[in-house]
Amino acid sequence: MSKSSPYNHDLPALLSLAFSGIIQELHEQLDKLGFEDIRPAHGFLFQRINPDGATGMEIVEHMGITKQAVSQMIDYLEKHGYVARHPHPQDGRGKIVVLTERGWALIRAREAIYAVIEQRWAALIGAERLVQLKSDLDQMIRSTNEGELPPRLRPVW
Amino acid sequence: MSKSSPYNHDLPALLSLAFSGIIQELHEQLDKLGFEDIRPAHGFLFQRINPDGATGMEIVEHMGITKQAVSQMIDYLEKHGYVARHPHPQDGRGKIVVLTERGWALIRAREAIYAVIEQRWAALIGAERLVQLKSDLDQMIRSTNEGELPPRLRPVW
DNA sequence: ATTAAATGGTCAATTGAATTGACTATAATA
DNA sequence: TATTATAGTCAATTCAATTGACCATTTAAT
């Protein structure tokens, strides 16, 4: 029995490594494309405001952090030109956070990078197995969440 | 076509959700068993010192954080009774961090909880598919890492 | 052997992304 | 109208990480 590491890689570790590996590759590529000011956590926010924008509270629900933290993150992304705050058309208290052109450029870059990664995986384990993998993960996530995909992506934990 | 969410769940999101779901369930259960003082990040440290202990620098390599951060984390875990620092038998500079009895109790609890989760997944998608899933993840991780499993678990990212 | 460089570890101060708490303005409800 | 709830921001704090400085010991070079 060959052991490639002095410690076990159980299922959680495999999931964590797979995820971290993708994120790391994503941000290496983004850095090269001039998006060095984007951190992994920002991805969760972008995922929510893409494509139609979202209010702060919608982002809060999605990310599972406080509204103050979300507000600060929006400050940062606005200052760096990725998003803009618009007044909410229906609710005078609210604002909608939308992507700027630079924000859209980031989204397109990310999608392209993800596509490359997925293609490499498909070539590696087979397109069919990749579909199966996604389906299995989907099922497993739902099973711990009353049959639904969680409405929020908890950032890491 | 039914869309269960207003936004896409791509592969990275699925991996993240699956991992986060497990970690969340793990710590809910650990809390119930009286391990409320343990945070998810500690798991990476425990994984490395189990079963034979490890030096600080070995933990550093495993976790991908600074030695100062590791030292502080060991301080915390030592203060809470999970680990102990012993002098290193060969190297007068070094120390080995080993599990205390409480540390072992935690390890056992974690393994039991993971086993339950894996069994539920096996029941859900089939034991065969679960094996395949792990094998696929293993392969994908190696493919981005020169054919090796990463020597370190980067804590989240 | 002796010196020089590298390594393992800790102490101290700082950073930075999160938190809690307090507040304003608008909306929904009684 | 008066009251309560909601969306968002400002301010201060927390806490796990960081950088920087240092000591002790081991390894390498001379």
Domains belonging to chain A, first-starting first, are: 11-143 (1.10.10.10)
Residue-wise pLDDT tens digits, B126-152: 999 999 999 999 999 988 766 655 655
**Residue given tokens 């993960």 in the structure block:** A137
pLDDT in tens, A6-63: 445 789 989 998 999 999 999 999 999 999 999 999 999 999 999 999 999 999 999 9
Running DSSP on this structure, what letter comes out for residue B151? S
Nearest to B12 by CA among A128, A9, A43: A43
Cβ–Cβ of A21/B145 closer than 8 Å? yes
Note the ipTM here: 0.86
Scanning A30-59 for CB atoms below 8 A from B yields 40, 47-48, 50
Of the listed ranges A45-49, A114-118, A147-151, B83-87, the one predicted with least confidence: A147-151
* B4 pLDDT more than 60: no
The answer to whether A3 CB sits below 7 Å from nucleic acid chain C is: no
* CA dihedral angle for residue A148, residue A149, residue A150, residue A151, rounded to 10 degrees: -90
Quote the minimal CA–CA distance from A20 to chain B in Å. 6
Q: Does the distance separating the beta carbons of A9 and B138 come in below 8 Å?
A: yes
Size of interface A-B (CB pairs under 8 A): 151
- Dihedral sign for Cα atoms in the order B21, B22, B27, B28: positive
B67 CB closer than 7 A to any strand C atom = yes
What average pLDDT does range A121-137 have in this prediction?
95
Is the CB of B94 less than 7 A from some atom of nucleic acid strand C? yes
Pick the residue with more confidence: A125 or B8? Answer: A125
Contacts of B68 (CB under 8 A, 6+ apart): none
Residue spans of beta strands (DSSP E) within chain A: 54-55, 83-87, 95-99
Radius of gyration of chain A (CA): 18
Cβ separation A125–B139 shorter than 8 A = yes
Reported as type and span, the H/E element at residue B111 is helix B101-125
